[in-house]
Amino acid sequence: MIFESHAHYDDAAFDADREELLNQCRQQGIETIINVSASLDSIKSTLALAEKYPFIYGAAGVHPDEVGALNEETFAWLREQCRHPKIAAVGEIGLDYYWDKEKHELQKYWFCRQMELAKELELPIIVHSREAAADTLEAVRTAHSPKLRGVIHCFSYGPELAAEYLNMGYYIGIGGVVTFKNAKKLKEVVKMLPLERILLETDCPYLAPEPNRGKRNSSLNLTYVAEAIAQLKGIEAEEVIRVTNENAKALYFAGKESCYE
């Protein structure tokens, strides 16, 4: 059974067939889905999905592109949503210097505040980092403590940086990009990563793997990701699926088995 560690099924791309697709995912071996919010509004839609579907859990957080909506009042509201029993993580949070929609100092401020929130509530974090390698690492290092754990989502840097996060106990999220022919750096990262530190993810509806690149992505494509990882590591895809499922449960549900269906 596959654990989908990062999806956005509340996205408008799924409005026409969301229920049908989610039921199909369940029927075709997707055991659990973490639906990840990016904005204050998407926290509400993520919770709605988590409350409707027993196999969907949520992550509540504000993406760096959306941190302009945060202030003390909205942050207090975010804290309350994170207490919901089906919220499994704070995310996605981090830094994005590619789109550069918000000032870097503002992004860093709210990234740090949300990491502190995760420590307060003893929740893992889901970290988004795009073209912000040094600042993301510095922020995570500064916040580092035994109470803070998480995953570096859609990892896009090299093996050296991956090793830094491994040393702090983080998991690395691997998705459809690993199937791309030109993803040489990511393939090197996957080769060096212990299988016990990898999570499978889609970031759907984005980043569909080969052979569906350019189309709407869904958790049904995770078998292609597992196969690509297996080929790089010289093991069977079934082993990748089994171990990454265990990894995700250890991250999101450690000590909370009663919450897991």
pLDDT at 71 exceeding the cut of 80: yes
If pLDDT is split at 50, 70 and 90, which confidence band does 258 have? very low
Q: Is 203 left (phi over 0), alpha (psi -120 to 50) or beta?
A: left
Q: Are strands 30-36 and 125-130 parallel, antiparallel or unpaired?
A: unpaired
pLDDT digit string, tens, across residues 17-61: 999 999 999 999 999 999 999 999 999 999 999 999 999 999 999
If pLDDT is split at 50, 70 and 90, which confidence band does 254 have? confident
Q: Which pLDDT value is given to residue 256?
A: 65
User: What is the arithmetic mean of pLDDT over 69-81?
Assistant: 98
C-alpha angle with apex 197: 228 to 251, nearest 5 degrees?
Answer: 120
Mean pLDDT over the full length of the chain: 96
Q: What is the rounded CA–CA span in Å between residue 238 and residue 235?
A: 9
User: What is the arithmetic mean of pLDDT over 178-200?
Assistant: 97
Q: What CATH number corresponds to the domain at position 67?
A: 3.20.20.140
Structural domain boundaries, residue 185: 2-259
pLDDT digit string, tens, across residues 131-165: 999 999 999 999 999 989 999 999 999 999 999 99
- Specify the pTM: 0.96
pLDDT at 259 exceeding the cut of 70: no
Handedness of CA 200, 20, 207, 92 (dihedral sign): negative
For residue 199, give the nearest of 246, 166, 160 by alpha carbon: 246
Number of structural domains found in the chain: 1
User: What is the arithmetic mean of pLDDT over 192-212?
Assistant: 98
Specify the DSSP element, H or E, that contains 127: strand 125-130
